[in-house]
Chain A
Amino acid sequence: MKTIYFDNNATTKVTDEVLEEMKPFFCKLYGNPSSMHTFGGQISRNICHAREQVADLLGCDHGEIILTSCGTESDNTAIKGTLAAQPNKRKVITTRVEHPAVLTVCRDLENHGYTIVELGVDKKGNLDLAELEEQLDDNTALVTIMYANNETGVIFPVEKIADIVKSKNAVFHTDAVQAVGKLPLNLSKSHIDLLSLSGHKLHAPKGVGALYVRKGTRLQPFMLGGHQEAGKRAGTENVPGIVGLGKACELAAKNIKNENEMVRHLRDKLESAILQSCPDCIINGDKKNRLPNTTNISFEFIEGEAILLMLDKYGICASSGSACTSGSLEPSHVLRAMGVPFTAAHGSIRFSLSRYNTEKEVDYTIEIMPKIVNRLRELSPFVGR
């Protein structure tokens, strides 16, 4: 059975060209870039090149990129490093819909005497910037707000937010793990101070990420024990991963526009066909203000895990905000923050596409989806009441 992969916000396929770039760095060019001998030392040039490729995609200087092991590490470094550099300020502003890599870190800070403000969102998943302005004060060390939401794809106006935060002299970090490679960025013209990205969300391998740190932003290192990354992130470099990340960024920069048009077309086709063939469905998130690859649909009266397992039987991979899929008992914190009723949140399914999806795959899913929904609704005690 062929796999149809519609879970690209979870992780993506490594592009063949990316893999080819990485290959020599396992068995041939395996030296340590910190070594004095040529065999190892020469590899620092490859890292330098990769750093430039990442910087080109972000529109920043290569000296502003710290290479890390993943998006979560980038987020942790940004948040804890910023606070450690400003010990006199004790307040952090974030949102209720952040990824756990940010939200859990912030809630933990609360246990260490920090005041955390979590901004709410409206029904469509959008922020109220007036509320942010109201909350920003002299005690605010950091504002951390995601670029685009992983569950709904809703995009926050981070450039505007960055301007507001800048005017109050606080530091602004954005978790852009879902945005990099999907939305065009130019950090040289932005007031964003820190930005996290993750390799495996843009067709690079798992285990590599980056943190953009604008020149002049004070940050204490999170990982100690070596001089790598100009002393900002200790640890021997994941050379193949970094080379892969560089190549993936280069490809993303080159193809972002064409690919997004193609992906948006497929997403829109899938979404509108499902809405038409399955009654009692709701789109979660602002339709006009979304990543081009993501759709989050709630199917009333049925439960997400059951839908996923049925899809799985047909080789279709998706994800759900239902409680049952996570092992917790409550549905997605993002959907709850948006005020999506529990009933709809339990039946939510996220399809997230990539450039590797085809029209044929979308057509097949469009054909399968109503069968699954009808089958499960036949079982449901809430249908036909």
Chain B
Amino acid sequence: MWDYTDKVKEHFFNPHNVGEIEDPDGIGEVGSLACGDALKLTFKLDQNGKIKDAKFKTFGCASAIATSSVLTDMLKGLTIEQAAKITNKDIADYLGGLPEQKMHCSVMGREALEAAIENYRTGGKKKHELEGKVVCTCFGVTENEIKRVIRDNNLTTIEQVTNYCKAGGGCGGCKGEIEKIIESIQGEKAGQILEAAPRWAGRLTNIQKIQLIQQTINEQIRPALRAHGGNIELIDVEDNKVIVAFRGMCAQCMLAEFTMKDLVEAKLKEFVSDEIFVEEYEDSTKQPHNHKG
């Protein structure tokens, strides 16, 4: 059971400002049914340019509903400039805090607000749209968004990033990339750019090398393949040649060569040694299909 503050429960059971303003000055939408939470925010200004009224409609858990409710309360009486400065942390603080795994609800509130302000200013898009490179394809989270939550909330671990913006919470294939973003930002802050520490220092024994290859496959490669119904098996290691077999969807995949070269070899070069190259086990194409549909 989640440990919600009284304020969260109060706003969940009796949310304020539910609904949609007719003929609003700004509309912001974020999330979708598939994501598990979604928020539609509308606001109207008075003649002095201050937010007179704000309303919401939310699909989501208790903390998503409570977050939306307090956000609309917070907005009333603010100018657009003041509203634009609200961070997800402000929203969470207003609720007396949220469980760590629910922080993404406060980020959703801030995103909807940004989209609504953008819509007011330009009359353009109402939807919170992806800008920049998408890092997490499962939840459609961009590099910019990840950087933003790391900066706003001073995050230091991948798990935190997942809790705050969902990135990395699906197949987990982007965790390595998230780690690098964290390193670059936390390094920036300390006034020094951290170089990715090489995992491989000095000479590895054969046993160490094989273990490292197996570990890299288990942690970095298999989760991404599994998310698409596939799998990989380490067959053998001969010097720098790594022989693997693809299972399930991967074995049938027309892009098997592409996947192997791109993903497996790149990851092994990155985490084990630059000299690694990958070959596909000959019999693997004869393996039957793992899954149907």
Which chain A residues have a beta carbon within 8 Å of chain B's beta carbons? Answer: 96, 110-111, 113, 115-120, 128, 131, 134-135, 301-306, 309-310, 313, 322-325, 327-331, 339, 341-343, 346, 378-382
Beyond the given pairs A324-B61, A329-B166, 12 more chain A to chain B contacts, judged by CB atoms under 8 angstroms and listed by A's residue number, are A110-B218, A120-B291, A120-B293, A131-B292, A134-B288, A301-B59, A303-B37, A303-B64, A305-B62, A329-B36, A330-B169, A341-B34
A380-B36 in contact (CB<8A): no
B residues in contact with A323, CB < 8 Å: 36
The contact sample of 23 A-B pairs, CB cut-off 8 A, is A113-B234, A115-B233, A116-B231, A118-B291, A134-B288, A301-B59, A303-B61, A306-B65, A309-B62, A323-B36, A330-B169, A342-B33, A342-B35, A342-B36, A343-B33, A346-B36, A379-B18, A379-B57, A379-B58, A380-B58, A381-B38, A381-B58, A382-B59
Q: Which 8 A-B pairs have the closest CB atoms?
A: A329-B169, A324-B61, A305-B61, A381-B57, A343-B33, A381-B40, A342-B34, A380-B59
B residues in contact with A119, CB < 8 Å: 291
| Chain B contact surface mostly | mixed
A residues in contact with B65, CB < 8 Å: 306, 379
Q: In whole angstroms, how far apart are the Cα atoms of A119 and B229 in the complex?
A: 11
Q: In whole angstroms, how far apart are the Cα atoms of A381 and B206 in the complex?
A: 58
B residues in contact with A111, CB < 8 Å: 214, 218
Q: In whole angstroms, how far apart are the Cα atoms of A346 and B35 in the complex?
A: 9
B residues in contact with A331, CB < 8 Å: 36
Q: In whole angstroms, how far apart are the Cα atoms of A378 and B233 in the complex?
A: 50
Contact among B12, B162, B233, B292 with A329 in the assembled complex (CB-CB below 8 Å)? B162
| Nearest residue, chain B, Cβ from A122 | B293
| Nearest residue, chain A, Cβ from B99 | A327
Q: In whole angstroms, how far apart are the Cα atoms of A313 and B40 in the complex?
A: 26
B170-A343 in contact (CB<8A): no
* B29 sits at the interface (CB 8 A): yes
B292-A328 in contact (CB<8A): no
* B60 sits at the interface (CB 8 A): yes
> A280: shortest Cβ distance to chain B, in Å?
12
A302-B59, A303-B61, A306-B65 as given contacts; A324 in contact with B36, CB under 8 Å: yes
Most chain B beta-carbon neighbours within 10 Å: one of A116, A117, A128, A134 = A117
A120-B292, A329-B166 as given contacts; A382 in contact with B33, CB under 8 Å: yes
Within B123-148, the residues touching A (CB, 8 Å) are 139
* B247 sits at the interface (CB 8 A): yes
* B101 sits at the interface (CB 8 A): yes
A115-B233, A380-B57 as given contacts; A346 in contact with B62, CB under 8 Å: no
Q: Mark B260-293, 1 if CB is under 8 A from A, else 0.
A: 0000000000000000000000000000101111
Contact among A134, A327, A330, A378 with B18 in the assembled complex (CB-CB below 8 Å)? A378
> A58: shortest Cβ distance to chain B, in Å?
33
* B97 sits at the interface (CB 8 A): no
| Chain A contact surface mostly | mixed
* B13 sits at the interface (CB 8 A): yes
> B187: shortest Cβ distance to chain A, in Å?
27
* B149 sits at the interface (CB 8 A): no
B59-A381 in contact (CB<8A): yes
Q: In whole angstroms, how far apart are the Cα atoms of A357 and B138 in the complex?
A: 41
Q: In whole angstroms, how far apart are the Cα atoms of A381 and B247 in the complex?
A: 41
Q: Mark B140-184, 1 if CB is under 8 A from A, else 0.
A: 000000000000000000000010001001100000000000000
B residues in contact with A324, CB < 8 Å: 36-37, 60-61, 102
Q: In whole angstroms, how far apart are the Cα atoms of A77 and B13 in the complex?
A: 45
Q: In whole angstroms, how far apart are the Cα atoms of A306 and B35 in the complex?
A: 15
B39-A381 in contact (CB<8A): yes
> B248: shortest Cβ distance to chain A, in Å?
9
Within B1-46, the residues touching A (CB, 8 Å) are 2, 12-13, 15, 18, 29, 33-40
Contact among A96, A113, A306, A330 with B61 in the assembled complex (CB-CB below 8 Å)? A306
| Nearest residue, chain B, Cβ from A380 | B59
* B222 sits at the interface (CB 8 A): yes
| Nearest residue, chain B, Cβ from A343 | B33
B290-A118 in contact (CB<8A): yes
B288-A306 in contact (CB<8A): no
Q: In whole angstroms, how far apart are the Cα atoms of A116 and B247 in the complex?
A: 10
B12-A306 in contact (CB<8A): yes
Contact among B13, B59, B234 with A303 in the assembled complex (CB-CB below 8 Å)? B59
Q: In whole angstroms, how far apart are the Cα atoms of A379 and B37 in the complex?
A: 12
B residues in contact with A382, CB < 8 Å: 33, 38, 59
B residues in contact with A328, CB < 8 Å: 169
Q: In whole angstroms, how far apart are the Cα atoms of A115 and B248 in the complex?
A: 11
Q: In whole angstroms, how far apart are the Cα atoms of A18 and B22 in the complex?
A: 62
Within B225-266, the residues touching A (CB, 8 Å) are 231, 233-234, 247
Contact among A116, A303, A309, A379 with B15 in the assembled complex (CB-CB below 8 Å)? A379
Q: In whole angstroms, how far apart are the Cα atoms of A325 and B292 in the complex?
A: 29
A residues in contact with B170, CB < 8 Å: 329-330
Most chain A beta-carbon neighbours within 10 Å: one of B15, B40, B65 = B65
> B156: shortest Cβ distance to chain A, in Å?
20
